Amino acid sequence: MASAPPAPQAQATDEPQPGRLSRTAAFWTLAATLLAFMCAAAAPSPLYSVYQAEWHSSAITLTVVFAVYAIALLAALVTVGALSDHIGRRPALLAALATQAVAMLAFITADSSGWLLSARILQGLATGLATGATSAGLVDLRPKLAPLINTATPGIGLGAGAIGSGLLVEYAPAPTMLVYVLLLAACAVAAVGIALMPETSPRRPGAPASLRPTIGVPAGARGRFLTVVPILITTWSMTGFCMSLGPSLAIELLGITNHLVGGFVVAG
């Protein structure tokens, strides 16, 4: 007796599910969300000199404000970076956007360095969660195009965020508020898009276990890793230095008071 032919496997199509975005629209929604997070990460940098003048903060304080963001980002990447594999891309991204919105509200109401520290910590946690979820979601939707978007978007976003923030600080009213109001609005728009995208990673058990930090390097790659580490440390140290103190140094050493120039210093 002949066996029945195997049932054809369902293939992903670009036809949207009822009430959901198409896969193409969802892909670019994720890319735009990642871009928004990267823009927000660099947005405070041109404002540090403004905060320093208003609150008489020291250069060390500005460096700490930047450092806590980097620490919070790293902590999020090694703990909740893979959480979206278990709870789904949409819930993880909506949680990241909600945390980012709270960070933007903290920036808007900030009147001391303590508020900045709190806002940057929240922003680092939100960005770490969002980076893992968006990167994985992009691969789910367009495996061939995702590596290009994941590689190019952070640099483009950081540069655009710094320049855009410098432009607003120099030529728009309410320099310590407007950029964050616009980023808060971007969070709201992104949240609507994320809520409408199809879920690409169904829930599966293991969410609590995924929060346990796991750091390691495959044995075959350790030699190359140790060779590259000093370069990475130097590169990111210079990036942190420019993003935290670049605009302030441009004002102090070169006498440049145009905040847009400070944005270009960070973007460069």
Q: What is the 3-state secondary structure (H, E, C) of 166-196?
A: HHHHHHCCCCCCHHHHHHHHHHHHHHHHHHH
- Indicate whether 98 pLDDT > 50: yes
User: Range with the lowest mean pLDDT among 97-106, 112-121, 210-219?
Assistant: 210-219
Q: What does the pLDDT read at residue 57?
A: 77
Q: What does the pLDDT read at residue 257?
A: 64
| Average pLDDT over all residues of the chain | 83
Q: Is the separation of the CB atoms in 243 and 159 below 8 Å?
A: no
Q: Is the separation of the CB atoms in 219 and 238 below 8 Å?
A: no
User: Range with the lowest mean pLDDT among 2-11, 151-160, 177-186, 237-246?
Assistant: 2-11
| Token pair 């990673």: residue | 201
Q: What does the pLDDT read at residue 19?
A: 67
Q: What does the pLDDT read at residue 166?
A: 86
Closest by CA to 166, choosing from 69, 268, 40, 43, is 43
Query: What value does the mean pLDDT take over residues 18-25?
Result: 85
Q: What does the pLDDT read at residue 8?
A: 43
Q: What does the pLDDT read at residue 4?
A: 44
> How many Å apart are CA 263 and CA 158, to the nearest integer?
10
Q: What does the pLDDT read at residue 254?
A: 60
Q: What does the pLDDT read at residue 93?
A: 97
Q: What does the pLDDT read at residue 225?
A: 72
Query: Taking the model in full, what pTM does it have?
Result: 0.82
- Indicate whether 103 pLDDT > 60: yes
Label residues 170-195 b or e (16+ Cβ within 10 Å = b): beeeebbeebbebbbebbeebbebbe
> How many Å apart are CA 260 and CA 251, to the nearest integer?
12
pLDDT confidence bin for 251, thresholds 50/70/90: low
Q: Which residue has the higher pLDDT, 82 or 49?
A: 82
- Indicate whether 177 pLDDT > 50: yes
- Indicate whether 264 pLDDT > 80: no
Q: How many residues does the chain have?
A: 268
pLDDT confidence bin for 187, thresholds 50/70/90: very high
Q: What does the pLDDT read at residue 212?
A: 82
Q: What does the pLDDT read at residue 198?
A: 94
